[in-house]
Amino acid sequence: MGLVMRPPVSLRYKLTYAGRPAGEETLVLEAVRHGLRLTLTAEVTLPLPKTRQRWVSEMDPAGLPRRFVERVEGRETRVFELEFLRDEGVVVGRGREDVVLPYVVDYHDPLSLIYALSRFEGAYAMFHMVGGRAYAERLPDETLEMPWGPVTARVFRLRPGIGLVYYDPEGIPLRFTQRLGGHVFEARLERLERGAPEPKSKERRGRRRRRRRR
């Protein structure tokens, strides 16, 4: 498909809750040896309690998850992990309780769903999730005012949860909204960086020293 979020890309979002600042999050898509890795890290100050979150989805080249890990630190620390073992025909979940489910369809996790939806060009879609299903409905395009100018965004409504996701023409998520506790929680893209990260300064100095010794 022509619409696809291509790695490597790093996205930084500003979070708001009920119109008030609520922290920041980053979303990083990388190419790894056997596919893709999508990582979300967030510092969330509202709604209370404050939390630090890190989600990681390791996907195959087609964007289907192999492993998903969610870590949330707040009043307590919670870690939840899913392994999607297609060859063995099971999904293994580890957390407060360990579960084993049959792998009877291609499942998604919350991050691989974001990636899959970035490539979707239809009007309606259903995604199998562990423990349920997610439904996406295409809404009319909207123009968003971004820091670099106006952008025409594809808009999808996600259910359950009544969330909205906005993508630019290349499949970059520009905005997420969801109603929580009677108010709207929003993540809005503030900065986009493409390309592999620069080498660390020590590595660059080491290369210069080696060149000088020749």
Residue 51 domain flag = yes
Residue 2 domain flag = no
Please give the structure tokens belonging to residue 110. 């919350």
Q: What is the pLDDT of residue 97?
A: 84
Please give the structure tokens belonging to residue 153. 């965004």
Task: Give me the DSSP letters along 7-72.
Answer: SSEEEEEEEEETTEEEEEEEEEEEEETTEEEEEEEEEE-SSSSPEEEEEEEEE-TTS-EEEEEEEE
Q: Under DSSP, is residue 1 helix (H, G, I), strand (E, B) or coil? A: coil
Please give the structure tokens belonging to residue 130. 């562990």
What is the radius of gyration, based on Cα positions, of the chain? 19
Band the pLDDT of 56: cuts 50, 70, 90.
very high
199 has pLDDT over 60: no
Residue 3 domain flag = no
Percent of the chain with pLDDT over 70: 89
Q: What is the pLDDT of residue 197?
A: 54
Residue 1 domain flag = no
Q: Is 119 exposed, middle or buried (0-12, 13-18, 19+ CB in 10 A)?
A: middle
CATH classification of the domain holding 31: 2.50.20
pLDDT for 120-177, tens place per residue?
A: 999 999 999 998 999 999 999 999 999 999 999 999 999 998 799 999 999 999 999 9
Q: How many domains does the chain have?
A: 1
Residue 107 domain flag = yes
Percent of the chain with pLDDT over 90: 82
Please give the structure tokens belonging to residue 208. 């210069």
| Beta-carbon contacts of residue 107 (< 8 Å; ≥ 6 apart) | 64, 65, 84, 91, 128, 129, 130
Query: Cβ–Cβ contacts within 10 Å for residue 113, how many?
Result: 22
Rounded mean pLDDT, 92-118:
95
Band the pLDDT of 196: cuts 50, 70, 90.
low
Q: What region does 162 belong to: left with phi over 0, alpha with psi -120 to 50, or beta?
A: left
Residue 41 domain flag = yes
For 110, phi then psi, to 5°, come to -60, -35
Q: What's the pTM?
A: 0.88
Pairwise CA distance, residues 37 & 184, whole Å: 28
DSSP state of 209: H
Q: What is the pLDDT of residue 198?
A: 52
Q: Under DSSP, is residue 33 helix (H, G, I), strand (E, B) or coil? A: coil
| Beta-carbon contacts of residue 105 (< 8 Å; ≥ 6 apart) | 128
Side-chain half-sphere CA neighbours of 210 within 13 A: 6
Look at residues 24, 2, 63 and name the one whose alpha carbon lies nearest to residue 188: 24
Residue 135 domain flag = yes
**Higher pLDDT residue, 182 or 115?**
115
1 has pLDDT over 60: no
Residue range of the domain that includes 175: 9-213
